[in-house]
Amino acid sequence: AQSVTQLDSQVPVFEEAPVELRCNYSSSVSVYLFWYVQYPNQGLQLLLKYLSGSTLVKGINGFEAEFNKSQTSFHLRKPSVHISDTAEYFCAVKVQGAQKLVFGQGTRLTINP
């Protein structure tokens, strides 16, 4: 079975500082990887995804993530955060050929002015 571990439940950073949200996964088969963002009282919005090819993936709102197969990681980064980035971020995996997404527990990103 697949599993996703988001290593930090909460990450506080100052505005305009860089941030990295960590995600590790476990799977014996090839997977696709995703990062979603959830703003308060809203559903999930896809930030970016890794399907194949280049291991550095760029997404919306200035976010990017790097797939590292040897370390089974898919960390999310942004060089300079804004107050509007305050939200909960979810890493997810999808086994090739399967229907469902398996999510991590989420990381709450708080931006301080």
Q: Is 69 left (phi over 0), alpha (psi -120 to 50) or beta?
A: alpha
Q: How far is the CB of 76 from other proteins (least distance, A)?
A: 16
Q: Minimum CB separation from other proteins for residue 42, in Å?
A: 6
- Which residue's CB is nearer to other proteins, number 28 or number 41? 41
Contact between 110 and other proteins per CB under 8 A: no
Read off the tokens for 28.
Answer: 């014996």
Strand ranges inside 39-99, DSSP E:
44-50, 56-58, 64-68, 73-78, 87-95
- What is the contact surface with other proteins in residues (CB under 8 A)? 32, 36, 41-46, 49, 51, 90, 92, 94, 96-106
